[in-house]
Amino acid sequence: MGKMKIIGLTGSIGMGKTTAAAAFRAMGIPVHDADATVHALLAVGGGGVDAVGAAFPEALRKDDAGNAYIDRRTLGQIVFGNDALKAKLESILHPMARATGDAFVAEMRGKGHPLVVLDIPLLFEIGGEKRVDITICVTAPPEVQRARVLARDGMTAEKFARILAGQMPDAEKRKRADYIVRTDKGHDDMRRQLEDILRRIRTES
């Protein structure tokens, strides 16, 4: 049995990471979602509640049963546009999210899976390409991205602009990635591209 390969799936906001991750899952490939991991760390019972609550007490809340959790909306408002606070938050959450991802990889390796996908929005921004064997960047034209993101609940043009400013440009991500997947031509077209990549990965190993 060959060594398990780790695929890092990335791309800017709205480019189709979650959609591509779901397609990989449907193909039977284990997928780990870094965003979902962070959400879980901050929810009731999450491993990040104490540390983040201590650093950002204004974001600490209690549910009706008295269980502590972090209000992500408030947390986002606190760190938005403040690089020092953002760095402080990331210094708490990134190691935890990374450990969760590592544990997932180890578990899937133990089960004998030949491939695993890590959906990491800020993969290149955090130097995560060193933790994976292959990188895939999902992409779509900027106007498609914009329309998708602005269609989301609670999104504004201003917020979108600030999120974009905090991410590595799409062109730079595409330059760095081993594979690029276009997501503006529908699900079947995207799935064909993913299958093609899997074929190439399997024949190269």
Ligand X SMILES: Nc1ncnc2c1ncn2[C@@H]1O[C@H](COP(=O)(O)OP(=O)(O)O)[C@@H](O)[C@H]1O
Tokens (6 digits) for 136: 């895939």
Closer Cβ to Mg ion, 11 or 48, answer by number:
11
What is the rounded distance in angstroms from the CA atom of residue 166 to the CA atom of residue 162?
6
In the region spanning residues 3 to 32, those forming contacts with Mg ion, defined by CB under 5 A, are 17-18
Give dist(CA 113, CA 131) in Å, integer.
17
Q: Which is nearer to Mg ion, 43 or 51 (CB)?
A: 43
Phi, then psi, of 60 in degrees rounded to 5: -80, 130
- DSSP H helical ranges for the chain: 17-26, 34-42, 49-55, 72-79, 83-110, 142-150, 157-165, 170-176, 187-204
Judged by CB under 5 A, does residue 139 bind Mg ion? no
Binding window for ligand X (CB under 6 A); candidates: 7-15, 25-33, 37-45, 65-73:
7-15
Distance CA 78, CA 30 (A): 34
The sign of the CA dihedral 70, 71, 74, 75 is positive
Rule CB under 6 A: is residue 16 a binding residue for ligand X? yes
> Smaller CB distance to Mg ion: residue 112 or 186?
186
Exactly one of 15, 34, 97, 117 binds ligand X (CB under 6 A); which one?
15
Question: Which of ligand X, Mg ion, none does residue 34 bind (CB under 5 to 8 Å by kind)?
Answer: none
Could you say whether residue 186 binds ligand X (CB under 6 A)?
A: yes
Q: Name which of residues 164 to 183 contact ligand X (CB under 6 A).
A: 183
Compute the least distance from the CB of residue 194 to ligand X, in Å. 9
Look-up of token digits 């546009």: 81
**Residues at the interface with ligand X (CB under 6 A):** 11, 13-19, 148, 183, 186-187, 190
